[in-house]
Chains A and B, each alone.
Chain A
Amino acid sequence: MRCDDVALVLPRIADGTEVADIAVRDHVEHCLRCQAEMVQYRKLLKALHQLRTEVLEPAPGLVSDILATIEAAGERGAIRSLLAGKRAAYVGGIAAATVAGATAGALVLASRARQRRLRVAG
């Protein structure tokens, strides 16, 4: 096994996601270069992991900018809901008026028909 072959798996062995097989283990145990590389990867991964605890403070005003963006989005959503509600009310009004008109028409027609029947009978 050559160093270049081992180099491909060293970072995964260093982060614990891969276990070194016998051939890799044999090579690394006898190769100072690969041992050095393994140590470097371990240091690198440790340092990267430590960055997780670091918090980079944003410049002032970020929170208020975020809240303003959400407020604006909330307003747009509310306006859409209102418009949708009004549209529904408008459509509902037309439907009710149509039903009322049709009912009134039917009543008038029924009343006239009854009067005609009474005149014919009289």
Chain B
Amino acid sequence: MTVDLDELVAAAQTGDRAAFDGLVRATHADVYTLALRLTGDEEDARDVTQEAYLRAYKGLHRFRGDAQFSTWMYRITANCASTLLTSRRRRRHDELPDDMPIADTHPDIDPVAMAEAGLLRSRVSDALQELPPRLRAVVVLRDVYDMPHEAIAEELGITEAAAKVRLHRARRKLRERLFPLGREEAAHAV
């Protein structure tokens, strides 16, 4: 059965709790997926998802329908995850620097063959989890969820320039992680 999110949003905005529950049921898996990609931890992802829906519930009257409800939820989720990760980073003393190389646990596997076999996606997923959270957030929001730089910067509380720099670093790290051959060797692999 297809759920009309627009109708549910309209009803929920009039105070219909059952309609809001319907929105939760229809979208929670997508929101949780983003939360898990951003936090890299199931328990954190659950907390972020709950907090995101709570904020959405309280702020639903501000949702104007300019974007899709799911897009609006993604932005709230990104903001909640950023808040969680920022508070956690402040408590951590052993944070890895952004420039720390990511160890490749499968350097012997030919990435081209894997891509052809459709396995690259799962390696990308693993590699994302090994990125520092601040880089992971930007690349997930930009390259997986197509969020504009401006929105990413706003939800993560950073400048647009910083978002672009982080995106570049994240992509470079992922590429180096997934295609560990040296540039000379890589040239011959094309």
Give chain A's interface residues, CB within 8 Å of chain B.
3, 7-8, 11, 15, 32-33, 35-37, 39-41, 43-45, 47-52, 54-59, 62-63, 65-67, 69-70, 73-74
Contacts and interface: CB of A to CB of B under 8 A. Distances in A.
22 contacts: A35-B190, A36-B183, A40-B179, A44-B174, A45-B171, A47-B115, A47-B121, A48-B143, A51-B121, A51-B125, A51-B144, A54-B121, A56-B33, A56-B37, A58-B45, A59-B46, A62-B49, A66-B53, A70-B20, A70-B57, A73-B57, A73-B58
Given A41-B175, A70-B20, A35 B187 contact: yes
A33 B187 contact: yes
Interface residues of B, number: 47
Contacts of A44: 124, 171, 174-175, 178
Contacts of A35: 187, 190
Interface string B124-144: 110010000000000100011
A65 B50 contact: yes
Contacts, number: 120
B28 A62 contact: yes
B42 A43 contact: no
Given A43-B120, A47-B121, A74-B17, 4 more contacts: A36-B187, A45-B143, A66-B49, A67-B24
Contacts of A37: 175, 183, 186
Interface in B18-32: 20-21, 24-25, 28-30, 32
Contact of B53 (A41, A54, A69): A69
A8 B125 CA distance: 24
A70 B145 CA distance: 26
B61 interface: no
A45 B45 CA distance: 24
B126 to A, nearest CB: 11
Contacts of A69: 50, 53-54
Nearest to B122: A47
B80 interface: no
